Amino acid sequence: MNVYDFTVKTRKGEDVALSDFKGKVLLIVNTATGCGFTPQYKELQELYDADHEKGLEILDFPCNQFANQAPGSDEEIHTFCTGRFGITFPQYAKIDVNGEQASPLYQWLTGNTTFGGFKGAAGLALAPIVKKMDKDYKNNGSIKWNFTKILIDREGNIAGRFEPTDPMNKVKEAVEALL
């Protein structure tokens, strides 16, 4: 099984087979508009601008599971992101990334990745919040917070996972190594 076995919904409710992205490097991100990590949209757009022509696609999945930081409809979220950050990469329908209602894509992603640990001051602040939601958070693959990034190689296989506190230059290095 790989990422190409899944279908997702656009923000307008249309099905998109991830097999449409065969041969591309994918960065799959669960996002939120009201999060301390929301400014990462700017860095994601810069990465997309730099590497889209080389074969990078960023797949943005808004998620409201972490402190209700992605309120609003799919269109409201899209309007915010394009207006504030000028994003041009595809945004998909809002989804759950954990739990019984998690999208099949994220069930597969979290079942095949592990938590990499939080980094820096933001990680020190985030760890106790996450621990309240999941006492065993360090030992499972669930998504811990908004802006977790999962990297997929050109063959549709998971190539890495980056927590929201990981520096974007590390994400960029990993993406460019696959390109």
Catalytic residue of the set 2, 9, 35, 133: 35
Q: How are beta strands 15-17 and 25-31 bridged, if at all?
A: unpaired
CB 150 within 8 Å of CB 159: no
Q: What is the pLDDT of residue 94?
A: 96
Per-residue pLDDT of the chain (179 residues; tens, 9 = 90+): 999 999 999 999 999 999 999 999 999 999 999 999 999 999 999 999 999 999 999 999 999 999 999 989 999 999 999 999 999 999 999 999 999 999 999 999 999 999 999 999 999 999 999 999 999 999 999 999 999 999 999 999 999 999 999 999 999 999 999 99
For the question of residue 81 being annotated catalytic, the response is no
Q: What is the pLDDT of residue 124?
A: 94
Q: Looking at this protein, which amino acid is placed at residue 72?
A: G
Model pTM score: 0.97
Residue in 27, 82, 76 with CA at minimum distance from that of residue 56: 27
Per-residue DSSP letter, 91: B
Q: What is the pLDDT of residue 83?
A: 95
Tokens for 112, please give them.
């095949």
CB 9 within 8 Å of CB 32: no
CA-based end-to-end distance of the chain? 22
Residue in 143, 134, 133, 136 with CA at minimum distance from that of residue 113: 143
For the beta carbon of residue 57, count every other beta carbon within 10 angstroms.
Answer: 18
Ordered DSSP codes for 27-60: EEEEE-SSSTTTTHHHHHHHHHHHHGGGTEEEEE
- Any idea which residue has 């939601």 for tokens? 133
Instruction: Give strand pairing partners of 60.
Output: 29, 91
Per-residue DSSP letter, 72: S
Domains in the chain: ranges and CATH: 24-148 (3.40.30.10)
